[in-house]
Amino acid sequence: MTCTVPFTDSDRILLGHGSGGRLTHELIQKVFYPAFANPFIEQNHDGCTFSVASGNMACSTDSFVVDPIFFPGGTIGDLAVNGTLNDLACCGATPLYLTAGFILEEGLLLSDLHRIVLSMKEAAAHADVKIIAGDTKVVERGKCDKLFINTTGIGMVPAGIRIAPELAQPGDVVICSAPIGLHGITILSARESIGFKTMLKSDTASLNNMLGHLLTNIKEVHVLRDPTRGGVATTLNEIAGSASVEIVLYEATLPIPEGVKAASEMLGLDPLYIANEGVVLVILPEKEADEALRIMHRFPEGKEAVVIGRIVDGKPMVRVKTLFGGSRIVDMLTGEQLPRIC
C-alpha cells in the first residue's frame, strides 16, 4: 500500500498532542479523520449522534494494554477493534459502531500510531462497523507504556434473539470454533524478554459475520462467549456458575495446535487457560450441533470448529475427561498467567 503520511519517520507524540488545542486538532485531522472517515465522526462535536430503530441494543467496553503493540498476526489496534466487536457478537448483537479512546505516551512514534490506526481502519472495514467517536490523551514519558486503547461498541440485537450464560442446560453441547492458545503463546513469544520463538501467530479476528449467519439459521443458540483472558477453562467456569450446570470436556477433542502444545509443555502452562482472540464457544442443543458446524465450517474463522464437550446435570464446575479415561476438574484461572495479553 502506498500512502502519503503527514509526518516523518522520526516525528513523535508531544504532550501538546493531548492539550485539546492546535496540536490535538492536527493529530485528528491528519491521522484519525482520514482513517476513520465517516459522517458520524466528522460531526466535529464532543460526541456524535446517530439514529436507531426501536429494539434491543447491546454495548460492551474493553481497554487494551497488550505488550508488545505489534505482534505476529496483529497489532493493539486490530485487537481493540476485534475484541469489542466479538463481545457484542457474543451478546447476539450485530455490531454497528465503535468509539476509540487513545492514551498515548509522550515520545511514541507518530508512524507507529499511524500504523495502528490503519490496522483499526482495516479491522473495522472488514467487520463492517464504523468508528464514530474518539478521544486522545497524552501522558508524560514513563507514565504509560507506548499506548493504551479503549474501544466501546454498540450494536442492535435482532428481535427474538436471547443469548445469556444462564441459558446453558443439560443436553447442550459446547462447540469451539477454532484452535486454542494461539494468541497467548504468540504474545508470550513476542515479548523481547522471553527467549523463545515460535512460528505461531495470533488468531485475532472478528467473529460477527460467522455468528450473524449462525443466529439467522439456528433457532436455539443458548450461549456465545469468546474465551479471551483466562482461556476456555475460565470462560466455561463462568458459564457453569451462571447456569448451575456441570460442563464436561473431552480432552481428545480439544483443538490444541502442536506449537501451542509444545510451548505450553515447555513453559508449564495449560492451554485451557491461555487467552484466545478469535475463538468463540457456542453452546446449543445437541440436535442443532451438526447444522451449526456446517455453517461455521464455511467461514475461515470457523473452518476447524468442533464439539469439545457437553452440559450435564451436576454441581457447577468444569471437568475434563482425559485421554486415559480419568477425569480432572479445571477451575477458574487463579493468579495471573501472563499479564497484558490484550
Site for a copy of itself in 1-20 (CB under 8 A): 14-16, 18-20
- In the set 59, 109, 267, 312, which binds a copy of itself (CB under 8 A)? 59
- Rounded to whole angstroms, what are the CA distances from 229 to 119, 184, 235, 252? 22, 9, 9, 23
Is the distance from CB of 183 to CB of 82 less than 8 angstroms? no
SS3 329: strand
Name the minimum Å distance from CB 73 to a copy of itself: 20
Angle CA 106–109–113, to nearest 5: 100
**Long-range contacts from 46-49, C-beta under 8 angstroms, 24+ separation:** 47/133, 48/132, 48/133
Contact residue for a copy of itself among 37, 39, 50, 194 (CB under 8 A): 50
Within 10 A of 92 (CB to CB), how many other CB atoms are there? 24
CB of 140 to a copy of itself, least distance (A): 6
Q: Which residues contact 251 (CB under 8 A, 6 or more apart)?
A: 320, 321, 322, 323
- Restricting to residues 216-275, name those near a copy of itself by CB under 8 A: 225-226, 228-230, 234, 238, 242, 273, 275
Nearest Cα to Cα of residue 298 among 210, 173, 192: 210
Report DSSP letters for 76-105, one per residue: HHHHHHHHHHHHHHTTT-EEEEEEEEEEEE
**Which residues does 310 contact at the CB level (< 8 Å), separation at least 6?**
172, 173, 174, 247, 248, 286
Q: Residue 151's beta-bridge partner residues?
A: 62, 100
Return the residues of window 264-283 that contact a copy of itself according to CB under 8 A: 273, 275
Nearer to a copy of itself, 142 or 195 (CB): 142
Burial of 213 (0-12, 13-18, 19+ CB in 10 A): middle
Question: Of 2, 4, 8, 51, which lies in the binding site for a copy of itself, with binding defined by CB under 8 A?
Answer: 51
CB of 82 to a copy of itself, least distance (A): 13
Q: Which of 31, 81, 93, 120 binds a copy of itself (CB under 8 A)?
A: 93
Q: Which of 37, 39, 61, 290 binds a copy of itself (CB under 8 A)?
A: 61
Interacting residue with a copy of itself among 11, 24, 213, 250 (CB under 8 A): 24
Quick one: 56 or 297, whose CB is closer to a copy of itself? 56
The pattern of x and - marking residues 66 through 85 that bind a copy of itself according to CB under 8 A reads: --------------------
Closer Cβ to a copy of itself, 73 or 184, answer by number: 184
> Which one of 61-69, 108-116, 173-181, 197-205 is the stretch in contact with a copy of itself (CB under 8 A)?
61-69
At 336, list the grid cell.
Answer: 495471573
Q: From the centroid of its chain, how far is CA 157?
A: 19
Q: Is 121 helix (H, G, I), strand (E, B) or coil?
A: helix
* Least distance between a copy of itself and beta carbon 325 (Å): 28
The span from the CA of 316 to the CA of 339, in Å, is 27
294 binds a copy of itself (CB under 8 A): no
- Selection from 106, 67, 278 nearest residue 189 by Cα: 67
Residues 130-189 touching a copy of itself, rule: CB under 8 A, are 132-135, 137-140, 142-145, 148, 150, 152-154, 157, 164-165
Within positions 312 to 331, which residues make up the interface with a copy of itself, using CB under 8 A? Answer: 331
Closest approach of Cβ 164 to a copy of itself, in Å? 6
The site for a copy of itself, by CB under 8 A, has a size of: 86
**Which residue in 208, 55, 195 sits closest to 127, CA to CA?**
208
**Which CB sits closer to a copy of itself, 154 or 311?**
154
Q: Which is nearer to a copy of itself, 14 or 267 (CB)?
A: 14
Rule CB under 8 A: say whether 38 interacts with a copy of itself: no
Assess 333 for contact with a copy of itself (CB under 8 A). Answer: yes
